[in-house]
Amino acid sequence: MIMNCWFKENCKIANTEGCSVSCIKYAEVNFLFESSGIPKKQRIALDCPVVDKDVYDYLANLDIANLSEKDLNIFICSTKVGNGKTSWAMKLLQRYIAKKALGNGFRDICRFVHVPTQLSKFKDFNNEKQEHQKETLINMDLIVWDDIGMPISDFDRQQLLNIIDRRILLGKANIYTSNVVEYDYLEESIGARLASRVFNYSEVVVFKSKDKRGIRS
């Protein structure tokens, strides 16, 4: 059995030698994990602080496969760092992959985007590559926009606004994480037009627990 196969607990194949190259299930899921941009060593926090039980329950029961059909975006935020915002976004993205991978036909459908890093990359691209990257992001079925809400330049605001506005118009699903909770602060950081689309078109989920980084269960 392949050590990192997502189906190893329920696989009924007796001879699994060579599964990594012959099993379509493995190949489709592996393709989406590789193309999604999810960091390989990202640790998913599974413990549930009492203070965040309601939001954990909400996210755990979220119909992640049908966010677009429900016209629902998620804004996960907290004024505190290290309390699971990105981990939960990763968890939702991985659950989406598990739901959508089989029969997907190796179509690139989801992406994890660290917003500050992506905006820096745009500046390094020539116009052709920049436009290609924008179109790719616009057409993804689901994007996790990690760490949105940091102060950005007018140029960066316009780049991000163009992509997110188009995605909303197309009914694409978005999950945002941010250390900004109040709408006024978000507007001040990323501009009124972008803040309105990110915040007002989303279900706002606020984490209240403390920094958990370094804690091992």
Q: What structural domains does the chain harbor?
A: 47-206 (3.40.50.300)
User: Distance from CA of residue 159 to its chain's centroid?
Assistant: 19
pLDDT at 132: 92
Cα separation, 172 vs 192, whole angstroms: 21
Higher pLDDT, 200 or 12: 200
**Is residue 86 pLDDT above 70, yes or no?**
yes
pLDDT tens per residue across span 113-146 = 999 999 999 888 888 988 999 999 999 999 999 9
**What's the CA gap between 45 and 145, in Å, rounded?**
19
The pLDDT of residue 2 is: 43
Higher pLDDT, 40 or 123: 123
pLDDT of residue 163: 97
Q: Which residue has the higher pLDDT, 42 or 58?
A: 58
> b vs e for 169-190, b when ≥16 Cβ sit within 10 Å of the residue's Cβ?
eeebbbbbbbbbbeeeebbebb
* CA–CA gap between residue 31 and residue 9 (Å, rounded): 20
pTM given for the model: 0.80
Confidence of residue 102 (pLDDT cuts 50, 70, 90): confident
Mean pLDDT score, 45-51: 62
